[in-house]
Structure 1
Amino acid sequence: MDGDRVKLSVVVDADEFEVAVDAAFRRIGQGLRLPGFRPGKAPRRVLEARIGLEAGRREALEHALPDYYGRALVHHEVDAIGRPEIRITGGADSGSVTFDAVIPVRPRLSISGHRKLRLEIMSPEVNNEEVEAQVDALRSQLATLETVERPATQGDLVTIDVEGVRGGEPVPGLTATEYLYEVGSGAVVSDLDEYLNGASVGDDLEFEAEYRDGEGRVSFSVSVKAVQTRLLPELDDELAAEVSQFSTAEALVSDLRDRISHAKRGQVGMLARDAAARAVADLVTIEVPPDLVESEIDERIRDLDARLRSQGLDLERYLEATGQEPDEIREEFREAAEVTARVDLGLRAVAYVEYLDENDERLDSYLDVMAVQTGLDVEEVRTRLVDSGRMLDVRADVSKRAALEWLLDDADIVDEAGNPVDRGLLEPPEPVIPEEVLPVDETNGVDPDNNGGTGVDLEDGEPPGDEEEDA
């Protein structure tokens, strides 16, 4: 066995497995029609005589094995990152059931080069260009349009007749007359901006381009009818009073500067942590285990599906609308998923080499915050995490947070010009509460399929090499 797998040997005693066999026969009975019995009402002895005990035990194994395996992972705190290879080693016909599970686990790395990192982030100071951009946005609210005789340029508004055709048929939504279009907006296809930039009144444009419906190339015919430019009013006290609550231009500009400063200073912590994460990811030189990348892709797809459902959609309809296959969307996520996996491995390695990964006080503080956020007693939070098998993840999260903060404390953080960034802006974020901790009335926050360790005797695991894993 290599260094990224462990083996668990599990024993399920006969009495515990007998409960699963009884349940298996009840499920089998629901689908059988036997003379003299209503569906699901035939007693087990009748079913055994009809199909044999082996069929019931086989059904019980298929149904209960994932639960036994999951409880073994929780008991031994195995950091599994992929599907196990399970081999039944005994009890298929009678008595206690034993099986071995060979499990891909997250590798533990050694790391170097993480000390005294130089992290460059966007300056939190406000520059005049940023203020001017906000002023122009306000001025544009009261802009007027002036017809010009010159060729269209970026930002101009052009009046066009446009027709999009595919296979000899007009494409819905791509045919319009007297359509007012901003050059450079990319509102139809990017190729349209390229052709309109430099076009004059009377020009007829013909080109082909891919459209976002993913159904193939579209032939466009465009006639330029007019070119207009925006005239922005000067910023004065009258304009300031019209577009804001301020009576003077000076007060308006001062407020805009303060708002930009507040927003940029609020981003410093996030930008610095992102920079530290990217830096530590670059220090991970091993090939990331494929199981870890696939797991991260799965998580991103689940997040996408959840966001879509919150908008009244789902992943299947999203794929239909975008013309994508499931494998294509997985490939879209792959590069970012690998970076996230490298960050994960790198932060865990930093936590290990800097002795940050075993700190009960830090974990207790983390659980205290969770308790306050959920309104639960801290011991209830702890119990729910343990019962749901999430405590290992929470410990890792605490360690990775500690590693990230250690990197920030140790690093030189500068802006683009090399000026030191105010460390007072590096406030750590609030922890994210796992679902298993959130109050749930019916299940009391505990996975109803996880009934603890009753009846399951977990033998010592066999990790890579000659070492033994403590139960």
Structure 2
Amino acid sequence: MHSSSELLENNQIKLLVEISEEELLPAVEVAFRKVSSQIRMPGFRPGKAPRKVLESRLGAGFARMEAINENSNRWAEQAIIENEVEPISAPAVTVLEGEEAGPLKLDVIVEVRPTLDLEGYGDLTFEVPAGEASEDEVNEQIDRLREALGSLEDSDGAISQGSVVTVDLSVTSDDSEAPTDISDYVYRIGAPEPFEGLSDALLGKAVGESFEFVLTDVTDEDQLDDLDFDDLEAEDISEESVAQEPELEPVENDSEKASTIVKGVIKEHQALVKPELDDAFASEASEFETLLELQEDIKRNLDNYHKSMLRNTWRHVVTNKLAEIAGLAQLPSSLVRMEFENMSHNFGHRIENSGLSLAKYLELANLTADELSTQIAAEAIVESRFDLVFRALAKAEGLNATPEEIDLELGKIALSNGVDIEDVRVRLSEAGQLVGLRVEIAKRKALDWLFENSKFVDANGNELSRWDVTGEVAPSSIEVSTKEAEALEGSETADVEVEESVDLELVTEDSE
């Protein structure tokens, strides 16, 4: 078989494949035997009818056409491997010549990844989420615990965060003839607002005072539909004291937004009294006996959360920045679909190897099948973008896999599967996967280059190392751990030698 490739527009490659008459004959023979075993001819057992008899009934070229139909995709795949093409879609195969006689010529068209041009990517700075919690975040968590354990007391003082107020509201819109009145509406400062600006209008005021604020580009219906009378948490406020949502006349023109004026009077105020910030509070709010222990635990949990978020987002940050530089506005749907199918396949294998059924996993993860598919699809988009930009970076920097690096990867695969390295090389080569292996090595080298030549900072401007960003173990840490282990091993050996010498001395004394 002979094949050649030609680059077309729209990220397509055309392969011209030619199969000689001699190469075609074995496939024709197999096709003949297959068809003859499926057709009953009078006077002959299945599969025993002479070829000329079958050809007289089915036509002289029936076996050849069957062979072409059965093997076209296989020949196309061989041509793809020979030309080291990485398709992202199934090949479209067309027979050009040789349907009846002579060499068979095929036209194979596949879609491939777009090639990106990266320029101006040197000396970049990437801002990523902070890898640890700030003091304000810890204090905020502590304050939430204090609010949860707080109590409400009637107050004539200024309204503050956490206060629960009872107000009468009057809502007037430009396109309404009369205001909508809401009596005895109960609201906790800091909760989701029924009207944007309500909390700001109430803060600092006291019982008996009035307030007013304007909503622009919002209809009465938009805001009043958001009123939620089921979110109140104050223990001494009953649902009966909360007014029911009023019915509103429909807005005649939904496309036009009206300015809305909200006026109100404060009728009651219950201030939130928080417990003192001391060891007694910590003991009541948690399993810890001291406030310091509680603060350290909250800090530790928040740090772990931040590190997890950082490790999950740095790829997005880097990939999106490089994609912006390369002008990658839209991903090929075929590439995303291929990534999605590969990820779904690999995920299914991991679930199967864990001993769980998919249904059980979904139950434990509290997910539906559609939600899981959505998650995998989102990851497929990120991986597709990551793949394209780091291929481009590897190309721009001339980073390629060396024979030694390929052998190292093949050796790892061979070791994990208990086979010879040359067997792995042959299998991957026959499957056309050596090209992908070389690309993955080049992409890893591109990522190494990026970390060596770029800067990563958190939201506060603090510079982060690669190990801070990715969560990988720094080589220096591995080296230190190894030295510590060797030192420990040496000390244990010394102890054993001392004990053995003591035992020998005791034996000598006893024998004397």
TM-score, normalised by the number of residues in structure 1: 0.61
Pair 192,382 (structure 1): closer, same or farther in 2 beyond 3 Å: farther
Matched, 1:256 2:298: yes
Gaps (5+ residues) in structure 2? 1-6, 154-163, 167-185, 193-222, 233-238, 250-269, 352-356, 362-367, 474-512
Go from structure 1 to structure 2 and tell me whether the alpha carbon gap of 1:26 and 1:256 turns closer, same or farther (over 3 Å shift). farther
Change in CA separation of 1:69 and 1:2 when aligned onto 2, cut-off 3 Å: closer
- Alpha-carbon deviations, 1:7-38, whole Å to 9, x = none? 33323343442332233234434553433456
**In structure 2, distance between residues paired with 1:259 and 1:102:** 53
1:337 deviates by 6.5
Match of 2:358 among 285, 302, 311: 311
Quick one: percent identity of the two aligned structures?
30
Give the partner amino acid of 1:272: W
Paired letter, 1:64: N
Tell me if the contact between 1:119 and 1:414 (Cα under 8 Å) persists in the aligned partners: yes
CA deviations on 1:193-249 (whole Å, 9 max, x unpaired) are: 6443799624156699xxxxxxxxxxxxxxxxxxx9999877765675677664433
Question: Are 1:2 and 2:8 an aligned pair?
Answer: yes
Per-residue CA distance 1:85-117 (angstroms, 9 max, x = gap): 434344322354332324433343332011111
TM-score normalised over the length of structure 2 = 0.57
**Which residue in 2 is equivalent to 1:300?**
340
Distance 2:419 2:189 in 1: 57
Give the counterpart of 1:80 among 76, 87, 105.
87
Q: Which amino acid aligns with 1:388?
A: A
Q: Which residue of 1 aligns with 2:468?
A: 425
Alpha-carbon offset, residue 154 of structure 1:
8.1
For 1:355, which of 398, 419, 431 is the aligned residue? Answer: 398
Aligned partner of 2:299: which letter?
R
Q: Which residue of 2 aligns with 1:71?
A: 78
SS at match of 1:399: helix
Cα contact 2:12–2:112 (8 A) shared by 1: yes
Q: CA 1:7 to 1:423, structure 2 compared with 1: closer, same or farther past 3 Å?
A: closer
Say if 2:339 and 2:380, in contact at 8 Å, map to a contact too: no
Q: Specify which of 377, 387, 390 is matched with residue 430 of structure 2.
A: 387
> In the alignment, which of 426, 437, 446 is matched to residue 403 of structure 1?
446
Distance 1:341 1:128 in 2: 38
The number of residues matched between the two structures is: 365
- Aligned pairs for 1:187-226 (under 5 A) are 194-196=227-229, 201-204=242-245
CA distance in 1 between partners of 2:325 and 2:296 (Å): 43
Aligned residue in 2 for 1:346: 389
Q: Which amino acid aligns with 1:408?
A: F
Q: Is the 8 A contact 1:26 1:44 kept in 2?
A: no
User: Could you say what secondary structure the match of 2:464 adopts?
Assistant: coil
Cα distance in 1 for partners of 2:152, 2:417 equals 54
Among 107, 116, 121, the residue aligned to 2:128: 121
Deviations 1:399-426 (A, max 9, x none): 1222122122211211112221234424
Asked if the contact 1:123–1:421 (Cα under 8 Å) also holds between the matched residues in 2, the reply is: no
Structure having the higher Rg: 2
Say if 2:21 and 2:102, in contact at 8 Å, map to a contact too. yes
On the 8 A contact 1:371/1:381 being kept in 2, the answer is yes
SS of alignment partner, residue 93 of structure 2: strand
Q: Distance in 2 between matches of 1:390 and 1:302?
A: 14
Contact 2:335 2:384 (8 Å CA) reproduced: no
| Alignment correspondent of 1:17 | 24
Alpha-carbon separation, structure 2, partners of 1:38 and 1:279? 70
> Where does 1:320-331 land on structure 2 (aligned, <5 Å)?
none
Cα distance in structure 2, aligned partners of 1:384 and 1:229: 74
Q: Give the SS at the match of 2:463.
A: coil
Change (3 A) 1:380 1:344: same
313 and 22 in structure 1: CA distance in 2 versus 1, 3 angstrom threshold: farther
Q: CA RMSD in A?
A: 4.7
Alpha-carbon distance between aligned partners in 2 of 1:261 and 1:428, rounded to the nearest angstrom: 13
Q: Residue deviations 1:374-423, cap 9 Å, x none?
A: 56554444343223222212221221222122122211211112221234
Quick one: distance in 1 between partners of 2:471 and 2:435?
22
Question: Residues 316 and 382 of structure 2 are in contact (CA less than 8 Å); yes or no, is this contact kept in structure 1?
Answer: no
Letter matched to residue 410 of structure 1: N
Q: Distance in 2 between matches of 1:37 and 1:108?
A: 59
Q: Provide the rounded CA distance (Å) in 2 between the counterparts of 1:235 and 1:63.
A: 78
Higher deviation after alignment, 229-238 or 31-40: 229-238
How far has the Cα of 1:153 moved from its partner? 4.3
Sort the Cα spacing of 1:33 and 1:261 in 2 relative to 1 into closer, same or farther, 3 A.
same
Output one character per residue of 1:416-450: Cα deviation in whole Å (capped at 9) or x when no partner. 122212344245869xxxxxxxxxxxxxxxxxxxx
Please tell me whether the aligned partners of residues 119 and 413 of structure 1 are also in contact (alpha carbons under 8 angstroms): yes
Question: Structure 1 residues 30 and 139, CA, compared in 2 at 3 Å: closer, same or farther?
Answer: farther
Going from structure 1 to structure 2, the CA distance change for 1:377 and 1:272 (only over 3 Å counts) comes to farther
Q: Aligned partners of 2:343, 2:272: CA distance in 1, in Å?
A: 42
- 1:389 is paired with a residue whose SS is coil
SS in 1 for 2:106: strand
Aligned to 1:312, what secondary structure does the other structure show? helix
| Gap regions ≥5 residues in structure 1 | 158-189, 209-227, 315-320, 431-471
Amino acid across the alignment from 2:435:
L
1:283 and 1:346 in contact (8 A); partners too: no
Q: Distance in 1 between matches of 2:151 and 2:60?
A: 86
Alignment of 1:222-237 (within 5 A): 237=279
Asked if 2 retains the 8 angstrom alpha-carbon contact of 1:83 and 1:103, the reply is yes
The answer to whether the 8 Å contact 2:89/2:338 transfers is no
User: 1: distance between equivalents of 2:12 and 2:188?
Assistant: 61
Higher relative contact order (CA 8 A, sep 6+): 1
**Per-residue deviation at 1:282?**
0.6
Task: Kindly provide the amino acid, as one letter, of the partner of residue 359 in structure 2.
Answer: G
CA offset at residue 281 of structure 1? 0.6
- The residue number in structure 2 matching 1:50 is 57
Q: Secondary structure at 2:293's aligned position in 1?
A: helix
Whole-angstrom CA distance in 1 between matches of 2:393 and 2:74: 34
**Is contact 1:272-1:413 (8 Å) kept?**
no
1:37 & 1:389 partners in 2: Cα distance? 44
